């Protein structure tokens, strides 16, 4: 039985659009509602309690719009709030995401992997558990990246300031001998073209957007919740300035779309 209800996807801001691209490509029949919590970005420097409160408000809103599933398109929100939301909504399909430590540990040849992520993700108990479980003998070097999310929120993917900031975060990881870099924040895949200019060609860049879309498809399929039929629409919401999100959409989403304001 097909289920035409929308899938609710959210992030602290525009970063989750990198995941939304993957979901849209894999699940063209689904209606999607994306909420960018731009009025509260960045999550990376906020307390876990603050992020949990935001995630509860957003989940409640997306469910009030009829969402049949939630995607936390944010590593920082996952670290702080995935367990809380799963406890609050035990029946709801929830897909969360965390840095790709397992595939990176399998892929590295130098035995050293670098993680670019937010301070919040790297400080979390969930990330420590991820390392315990999957790093094995691989050395994992972490790099918090304050300021980077703000560049991407502004749609600035290649200015000299963004390049300099990114260079400063990547150089120490290369000096440590990393041959695999994990993009552990959903904003960072938008910097792939710039990163490719900054790191040697044999350095692998790994993110989990496509894996999240596959997991969402599996989960919905196993519960008989997949939609069928005509391609569906994508509805966009922000808790920040509507014009700011509309302005960066051509760069980050590849199309102009109307944006709604979420006052919560
Ligand atoms: N996009 C987010 C993540 O995946 C959070 C960025 C932020 O708000 O600091 O971690």
Q: Does residue 246 contact residue 155 with C-beta atoms inside 8 Å? A: no
pLDDT in the model for residue 1: 56
Q: How far is the CA of 222 from the centre of ligand 1 (A)?
A: 29
pTM of the model: 0.97
* Structural domains of the chain sorted by starting position, each given as residue range(s) with its CATH number in brackets: 2-97+209-261 (3.40.50.1860), 101-206 (3.40.50.1860)
Q: Does residue 95 contact residue 216 with C-beta atoms inside 8 Å? A: yes
The number of beta carbons lying within 10 Å of the beta carbon of residue 203 is 18
Give the position, in ligand 1's atom list, of the atom nearest the Cα of 16: 1
Low-confidence ranges of the chain (pLDDT < 50): none
pLDDT in the model for residue 144: 98
pLDDT in the model for residue 230: 78
DSSP state of 230: S
Q: How far is the CA of 75 from the centre of ligand 1 (A)?
A: 6
Q: Does residue 247 contact residue 260 with C-beta atoms inside 8 Å? A: no
Q: How far is the CA of 105 from the centre of ligand 1 (A)?
A: 22
Among the listed residues 38, 55, 178, 185, the single catalytic one is 185
Q: Has 185 been annotated as catalytic?
A: yes
134-173 exposure pattern, b = at least 16 Cβ within 10 A, e = fewer:
beeebebebbbbeebbbbbbbbebeeeebbebbeebbeeb
pLDDT in the model for residue 263: 96
Among the listed residues 38, 74, 145, 178, the single catalytic one is 74
Q: Has 145 been annotated as catalytic?
A: no
pLDDT in the model for residue 232: 82
Q: Whose CA is nearest to atom 2 of ligand 1?
A: 74
């Amino acid at each position: 039985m097909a289920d035409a209800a929308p899938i609710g996807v959210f992030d602290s801001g525009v970063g989750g659009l990198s995941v939304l691209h993957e979901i849209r490509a894999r699940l063209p029949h689904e209606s999607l509602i994306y909420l960018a919590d731009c009025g509260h970005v960045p999550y990376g420097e906020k307390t876990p309690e603050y992020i949990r409160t935001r995630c509860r408000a957003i989940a409640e809103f997306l469910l009030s719009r009829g969402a049949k599933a939630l995607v936390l398109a944010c590593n920082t929100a996952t670290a702080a709030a995935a367990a809380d939301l799963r406890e609050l909504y035990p029946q709801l399909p929830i897909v969360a995401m965390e840095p790709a430590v397992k595939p990176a540990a399998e892929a590295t040849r130098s035995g050293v992997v670098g993680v670019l992520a937010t301070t919040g993700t790297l400080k979390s108990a969930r990330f420590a558990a991820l390392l315990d479980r999957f790093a094995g003998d691989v050395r994992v070097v972490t790099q918090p990246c304050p300021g980077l999310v703000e560049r991407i929120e502004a749609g600035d993917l290649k200015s000299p300031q963004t390049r300099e900031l990114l260079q400063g975060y990547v150089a120490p990881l290369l000096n440590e001998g990393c041959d695999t870099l994990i993009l552990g924040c959903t904003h960072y895949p938008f910097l792939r073209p710039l990163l490719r200019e900054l790191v040697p060609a044999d350095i692998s860049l790994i993110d989990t957007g496509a894996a999240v879309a596959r997991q969402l498809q599996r989960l919905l399929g196993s519960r008989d919740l997949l939609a069928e039929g005509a391609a569906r629409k994508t509805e966009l919401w922000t808790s920040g300035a509507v014009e700011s999100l509309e302005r960066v959409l051509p760069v980050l989403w590849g199309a102009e779309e109307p944006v709604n304001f979420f006052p919560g």
